[in-house]
Chain A
Amino acid sequence: MNDGQPVATEFRARSMRELGGVLAFVDRTCAGVEADTVFAVRLAVEEAFTNIYKHGYAGGEGPVAVHVDVAPQQIIATLVDAAPAFDPADAPVPDLDSPWDQRRSGGLGCHLLRQMMDEVKYVRRERDNVLTVVKTRS
C-alpha cells in the first residue's frame, strides 16, 4: 500500500491476446482496493480494450497503452490507442428491452463501461484516442 501518494503504472499491449496480461495488471495495480471498485475498473478496462481491438483495429494488431492510477479517492484508468477516432459515447444504445428471442448482445460493452464508471472522458490527441475512465472509491 502507498502512503496516500498516487501510484501510476502502465501496461503496453500489441494485440487482443494480451487481455489476460491487462486484467492481471489491473488486479495487481489495484491490490488492496475495495472489491466493488476493482470490479468496475476491471470491467471498464476489459470492455474498452476489447473494443479497441475488435473495432478500432478491426481484429488486427496495434499499440494500446493502459495506465491505472490508484489514488485515495478514486481510480483513474487511461487507454491510449492509435486506431481511427472513436468515442465510446457515440456507441449505439444497446437493446435492453426486446423479448429474449430478439435480444442481441451487441453494444453492451460500451454501455456497461458508461454505467459502471463515474466519469468517461474521450479526446482525440494527434493520432491517438485517449479514453479516461474514473471510478470514485467506495
Chain B
Amino acid sequence: MNVEFDTRGNVSVVVISGSVDGLTADDLMNRLQGYVAEGNLLLVANLAAVEYTSSAGLRALLATVKQTRRGGGDLRLACINGNVRKVLELSGFTTIMKLFDSVDAAVASYAVSVGS
C-alpha cells in the first residue's frame, strides 16, 4: 500500500493505492490521523488504485471520518472501484460517507458545504 498527499486549494487529496488490509491499515490510519491533526480537515481520498480492502481498511476510514467531522471537516471518497464499493455498501458506509465519481467533483463539493 502507498499513501500520498496532494493539496488542491484548501482541500487535501489523499491518493491511496494497493492493498488496504490487516498489514497496512494501521499505517494508513496513523498517517491519515497525523495529517488531520496538523489541521488538514477537508480530505478527499482518491481510491482509484485501491485493489483491495478488508474490514481493517474500513476501521481506518471510519476513524478518520469521525476525526475530521468532529473538527468541522470531512473525508470524502472518489473513484471507488467495483469490489471496494461493494465492501463499502455491504458495511453500510455508503450511507454515512459522501462518494464521488471523480476527484474534481469531490474537491468541488467542499465549495458548496462542509460537514455532514
Interface residues of A (CB under 8 A from B): 16, 19-20, 23, 35-36, 39-40, 42-43, 46-47, 50, 94-97, 99-101, 103, 105, 108-109, 111-112, 115-116
Given known A19-B21, A36-B82, A105-B59, contact A99–B96 (CB-CB < 8 A): yes
| Contact between A46 and B22, CB atoms less than 8 A apart | yes
Q: For chain B, which range describes its interface: under 10, 10 to 19, 20 to 34, or 35 or more residues?
A: 20 to 34
- A108 to B54 CA separation, bound complex (whole angstroms): 9
Partner of B55, one of A20, A40, A109: A109
Whether A43 touches B54, Cβ cut-off 8 Å, given contacts A103-B62, A105-B59, is yes
Secondary structure type dominating chain A contacts: helix
B82 & A112 in contact (Cβ 8 Å cutoff): no
19 contacts between A and B (CB under 8 A): A23-B19, A35-B83, A39-B52, A40-B83, A43-B54, A46-B54, A47-B54, A50-B22, A50-B54, A94-B91, A94-B92, A97-B92, A100-B69, A100-B97, A100-B116, A103-B96, A105-B59, A112-B55, A116-B90
A108 touches B52 (CB 8 A): no
- Cβ of A103: which chain B residues have Cβ within 8 Å of it? 62, 92, 96
The answer to whether B56 and A50 touch across the interface, beta carbons within 8 angstroms, is: yes
Q: Quick check: is B65 within 8 A (CB to CB) of the other chain?
A: yes
A117 to B77, CA, bound (A): 26
Contact B87 A43 (CB under 8 A): yes
